[in-house]
Amino acid sequence: MENALRDVAIEPVAVPPGLARLVGGRRWFRDQVGQSGCAVYRLAREGEDDLYLKMAGAETLSDLVDEMARLRWLADYLPVPPLHGFGLEAGTGWMLTGRRPGRTAYQLLEEDPAAAPALAGSLARFLLRLHAIPVERCPFNADHRLRLAAAKDRMEAGLVEEEEFDAARRGKSAGDVWDEMLAAIPPAFDRAVTHGDFSLDNLLVVQGEVTGCIDLGRVGIADPWQDLAILWHSLKEFGEAAAEAMLQAYGIALDPAKLDFHLRLDEFF
């Protein structure tokens, strides 16, 4: 169903011939919500499932290639959107995927915030499945050292959106948050296959159970609190009980040092 707040109808966009035959005759809608840096389109046709086209220019082309590679790899372990096509041409990239059943966890909790503690358990169980993938099978690195280097590059390039900082850091500069983060870096990190942005908008749910995850460009080996911190923070918007229920279902105690580190680090992306 079209949601005017999430996407708007547009005219079809030119795509390579190999993709054009797959998207012909569909109505196009431009996503208004995603923050990936790529243009995202929902392609609809009566009686058929929607398709999704992500389009990258020169600045985000490597991000799109990264996501495609991770999508193909993770499909052997978890339910992810099917990949229908991919194209590169003159500094532009296109990735065409299908849809997984369900609505995002955020959409569901917007309608029924009281369901957050119960849903938190399902989200934690899905996260356990992801973190149980053997790290020796994962070819992608996403650890804190790599992310710190990328965060520093973004800060020095003036790309950090300080006005979008969480309430705990609102009014601070990127440099202030950077200094605080380095001063309180945890002494040790664990290793797991992580999503990298395990938020409520990236998890699809049907009847209380997660049916898949989307936006996979940050998948890689990192400390599991990379995912736990983002999910904890997302659920806390719907109450302390939801965040606590997630940790209990996952089987881990709150680690304030790692929580704060990863939430600060996420501000740079």
* Tens-digit pLDDT profile for residues 215-227: 999 999 999 999 9
**How far is 196 from 205, CA to CA, in rounded Å?**
19
Q: Does 1 reside within a domain?
A: no
pLDDT tens per residue across span 62-78: 999 999 999 999 999 99
Q: How far, in whole angstroms, is CA 153 from its chain's centroid?
A: 21
Q: By residue range, what is the domain housing residue 255?
A: 103-266
Question: CA 219, CA 201: separation in Å to the nearest integer?
Answer: 16
We report the CATH number of the domain holding residue 146 as: 3.90.1200.10
What the block records as the tokens of 20 is 């054009």
159 and 89 in one domain?
Answer: no
Q: Looking at the structure, tell me whether residues 149 and 234 fall in a common domain.
A: yes
Which residue type, as a one-letter code, is found at position 193? Answer: V
Question: Residue 25: its pLDDT value, please?
Answer: 93
In this structure, the answer to whether residues 233 and 262 fall within a common structural domain is: yes
- Asked whether residue 39 falls in the same domain as residue 141, the answer is no
Give the separation between CA 109 and CA 200, rounded to whole angstroms: 9
Q: Is residue 194 part of a domain?
A: yes
What pTM did the predictor assign? 0.91
Q: For the chain, what's the residue count?
A: 269
DSSP 3-state of 235: helix
Does 116 reside within a domain? yes
Look at residues 97, 124, 151 and tell me which one is the last residue of a structural domain.
97
The residue from 197, 215, 227, 266 that is catalytic is: 197
CATH number at residue 81: 3.30.200.20
The pLDDT assigned to 2 comes to: 40
- Using 70 as the pLDDT threshold, list the residues of the chain that sit under it: 1-5, 34-36
Token pair 């020169």 is found at: 58
Instruction: Check if 197 is active-site.
Output: yes
Among residues 68, 97, 126, the one where a domain terminates is 97
Total tally of structural domains belonging to the chain: 2
Pick the closest to residue 186 from 260, 117, 248 (CA basis): 260
Q: Which of 253, 129, 247, 147 is nearest to 196 (CA)?
A: 147
Say if residue 184 is in the same domain as residue 93: no
Quick one: pLDDT at residue 66?
A: 95
Out of 50, 78, 97, pick the residue that ends a domain: 97
Q: Are residues 238 and 115 in the same domain?
A: yes
